[in-house]
Chain A
Amino acid sequence: MSHTETHERSLLGFWIYLMTDLLSFGVLFATYAVLSPNTAGGPNAKELFSLPFVLIETLILLTSSFTVGLAMLAVFKQAKQQALIWFGVTFLLGLTFLGMELYEFNNLIAEGASWERSAFLSSFFTLVGTHGLHISVGLLWMAVSMVMIWKRGLTPFINSKLTRLALFWHFLDIVWIFIFTIVYLLSYV
């Protein structure tokens, strides 16, 4: 079986997987939409979220989507050093994003606004947390990929996997844009 054939199949399979993941997120978004008014006497979204903080988070994630694009350009040019640098930058940006999210979660829990407080907070933590979990998986994937680029170089085998990693990362970016809009921005309307 030739490499292009395998690559094409894997790519289609991965696209379908991304769509299934999107549907899972769809359930979480729907759940948030239904449950967000149900604060059970606890704090609501407007009282809890700090928009400037989340805006910085968002910009960091968007930038990481740009840098992963640069990394893929380097991969297609077979520039190993450059690819490693841009994946490294993406990794650090992703890690910062994750750190900020955990910091936000920590603050909320400290204020007594944990997932046990109300259905609204349950759905908030699950939706945003699931995205964070995906980011963690992406970071692990990226770390392993960087070791592989460093050890084995940019072979067709590795490049095919990197293409899917980049897709995954862009996908998480798109999901975050929806989270930013629906969870954070709409709470200010």
Chain B
Amino acid sequence: MFGRLSLEALPHEWYTLGAVVSLGLGGLVAAIFLSKKKLWGWLWNEWLTSTDPKKIGIMYIIVALLMLFRGFLDAAMLWFQQAVLNGTSYGLSADHFQEIFTAHGVIMVIFVTMGLMFGLMNYIIPLQIGARDVAFPFINSLSFWLYVAGAIFLNLFFVLGGDFSSAGWLAYPPLSGLEYSPGVGVDYWIWSLQISGLGTLLGGINILVTILKMRAPGMTLMKMPMFTWATLCSMVLIVSTFPLLTATLVLLSLDRLIGTHFFTSTMGGNPMMYVNLIWMWGHPEVYIIMIPSFGIFAQVVSTFSRKKLFGYSWTVASLIAVTLLSMLVWLHHFFTMGAGANVNAFFGIMTMIIAIPTGIIVFNSIMTMYQGRITFGTPMLWFLGFVSTFSFGGMAGVMLSVPAIDFQVHNSLFLVAHFHTMAIGGALFGIFAGFSFWFSKITGFKLNEKIGKAAFWCWIVGFFVSFVPLYVLGFMGATRRLDQYDPSTGWQSLFIISFVGLLIIATGAFLQVLQLIHGFLKRNENKDLTGNPWEAEGLEWSTSSPPPDYNFAVIPGTNKIEEFHMPKNTPIGIYVSGFVFLVGFGAVWHIYWLTALGIIGAIICVIIRALDEDTEYKVILK
């Protein structure tokens, strides 16, 4: 009846029980608050069922920030283990340590950066291109709820027990195969990625069509703002690579569910094929989260230098080059596989070539500052932080692209330091820059710049303090993903310095929360009345902060006030995601009737929605 789900599977360790209790209490407090204030109807009608990309964008950001909190706690546990508990008996068990670094990777890449990016895109892209909405509002809502369903899968083992995958964020077989990971952990991982990946794919198609088909009259491709261009490139990558992830995960789950032999080490299976397939998605994936940041930085630097972007067309061409090249470098993640000198040389050279357009993008941003009237607002500081960290990490990347060097530092902390430099200094700083840049547009009030700048300094200092030691450790041969390092290595002081860096970063994160609370409390004093606090260019600044539901009363480039249609809210996206969740849940725990129920339910919901002709309402502006 309940497959593998039995009483023994339910949580019984202190940390999972603690999570169950705190989640339950948190839910209870929220429920009581909502009931007291009679806000259930408001929450359901105005937010959860909304098809407004602005509200969906905000919901993406909220969920992603919650996931960021968890991903940060995971990181803190890993660091604390290595710096303080190393060699003591109080530390995490090796199994638990592995589960945590797996969860940390998946959360930060898939649920935090992707979630925050999709949040910003949903809000900003329609405004930037002068549209009232995205191309497919219902699919937008569905994408978001699939993302939420995936996020729930990632946290489910707290509540329902079992374990989480301990096979690393990309779950290489045969370790992730049935033989070596018989529990539900890898299944949780598969369905978490599969369901949220489906949402990402639909979201990618949606935003791609929005940009291609819904620009205001007169906005030709070469007049688009850089964030729109970068988003377009990122979405092209999503639709080109997420199908590979979907198919690869299907193959892995077939191996685990019905006994096929794709990636097993027996009966002709080929585990290395999985490594190829997953990185054919995985490498473009890191560019999917990186490229939108390039766009944000280009807009920030031109706004805060009071100049047009230097070399607009070259930046666009470079973005496109990065997009295309990013699909041709995946093998550099496993030079040590033994593909042969020629193959390694090809991928090494492609990796070096990709540094050229990336360099053009960064240098064009820097040249924009030349002879500009620069002001140092918070977004601008994040940009400067990006230039220093990204160049630093980029040079480490070019080193890694040489197969001979890669053989020396493969799977070491040098690599960990490199990709954190790119992901934090590139993608995350970009998100923070965009967040502080567009915050007043989204909420209608401005944030305190002093606290924002203090937060930035904590982040950038903390970043170098924590990651430079990792570069050094990597050179000295420290292998990654270990919970214990022998004291005779003499590395302990470096791990402790790195941990101090984490504390500085945590101070920065705390200041950001403080900035949000401060901004919210003083929201009436710091209202953004002009709609354009930075005196920036772009259509998003031409409407009020926050914009009305329909974004623009008159579509830019036209001059008639018209009647128009807006999509009605619909709960079907939530229902479909709920049923898809059941499909995955049944597959994880081998409760097959639940999987069947989920499939049938999802199909019925989709058919009901497809046949509904009454999905819009008319707006008449007086």
A and B physically associate:
yes
Show the binding face of A for B, using Cβ within 8 Å: 1, 8-10, 12-13, 16-17, 19-21, 23-28, 30-31, 34-35, 38-40, 115-120, 122-123, 125-126, 140, 144, 148, 157, 161
**Which chain A residues lie closer than 8 Å to B244 at the CB level?**
23-24, 26-27
- Tell me the complex Cα distance, A117–B268, Å: 10
Tell me whether B136 is interfacial, beta carbon within 8 Å: yes
Interface footprint category on B: 35 or more
Q: Mask for B254-266, Cβ within 8 A of A = 1, else 0?
A: 1000111110101
Q: A27-B243, A27-B244, A144-B607 are in contact. Are A13 and B261 (CB under 8 A)?
A: no
B212, B248, B258, B262: the one contacting A119 at CB < 8 Å is B262
Q: For window 264-281 of chain B, which residues contact chain A by CB distance below 8 Å?
A: 264, 266-270, 273, 277
Whether the pair A35, B610 counts as a contact (CB closer than 8 A) is no
Chain A residues touching B, majority SS: helix
Lowest 6 A-B CB distances belong to which pairs? Answer: A38-B268, A119-B268, A122-B260, A27-B247, A23-B243, A40-B268
Tell me whether B621 is interfacial, beta carbon within 8 Å: no
Q: Which residue of A lies closest to B255 (CB)?
A: A122
Whether the pair A122, B610 counts as a contact (CB closer than 8 A) is no
* Stretch from B202-210, B220-228, B438-446 at the A interface: B202-210
Tell me whether B400 is interfacial, beta carbon within 8 Å: no
Q: A20-B242, A24-B243, A31-B273 are in contact. Are A9 and B209 (CB under 8 A)?
A: yes
**Which chain A residues lie closer than 8 Å to B266 at the CB level?**
40
Seed contacts A27-B277, A118-B267; 15 additional CB < 8 Å A-B pairs: A23-B244, A23-B247, A27-B243, A31-B273, A35-B270, A38-B267, A38-B268, A115-B259, A115-B260, A116-B259, A116-B261, A126-B254, A144-B611, A148-B611, A161-B610
What is the distance, in angstroms, from B141's C-beta to the closest C-beta of chain A? Answer: 15
**Which chain B residues lie closer than 8 Å to A17 at the CB level?**
205
Q: A1-B616, A9-B209 are in contact. Are A119 and B270 (CB under 8 A)?
A: yes
**Which chain B residues lie closer than 8 Å to A16 at the CB level?**
205, 208-209, 239
**Which chain A residues lie closer than 8 Å to B243 at the CB level?**
20-21, 23-24, 26-27
Tell me whether B603 is interfacial, beta carbon within 8 Å: yes
**Which chain B residues lie closer than 8 Å to A38 at the CB level?**
267-270
- Tell me the complex Cα distance, A40–B262, Å: 12
**Which chain A residues lie closer than 8 Å to B248 at the CB level?**
27
Tell me whether B565 is interfacial, beta carbon within 8 Å: yes
What is the distance, in angstroms, from A176's C-beta to the closest C-beta of chain B? Answer: 18
- Tell me the complex Cα distance, A2–B250, Å: 39
B214, B239, B268, B613: the one contacting A118 at CB < 8 Å is B268
Tell me whether B451 is interfacial, beta carbon within 8 Å: no
Tell me whether B201 is interfacial, beta carbon within 8 Å: yes
Whether the pair B206, A13 counts as a contact (CB closer than 8 A) is yes
A13, A117, A126, A140: the one contacting B603 at CB < 8 Å is A140
What is the distance, in angstroms, from A73's C-beta to the closest C-beta of chain B? Answer: 23
Tell me whether B388 is interfacial, beta carbon within 8 Å: no
Whether the pair B270, A115 counts as a contact (CB closer than 8 A) is no
Q: Mask for B126-150, Cβ within 8 A of A = 1, else 0?
A: 0000000001100000000000000
Q: In the complex, which of the residues A16, A17, A25, A116 has the most CB atoms of chain B within 10 Å of its own CB atom?
A: A16
What is the distance, in angstroms, from B176's C-beta to the closest C-beta of chain A? Answer: 16
Tell me whether B213 is interfacial, beta carbon within 8 Å: yes
Tell me whether B22 is interfacial, beta carbon within 8 Å: no
A21, A26, A28, A120: the one contacting B268 at CB < 8 Å is A120
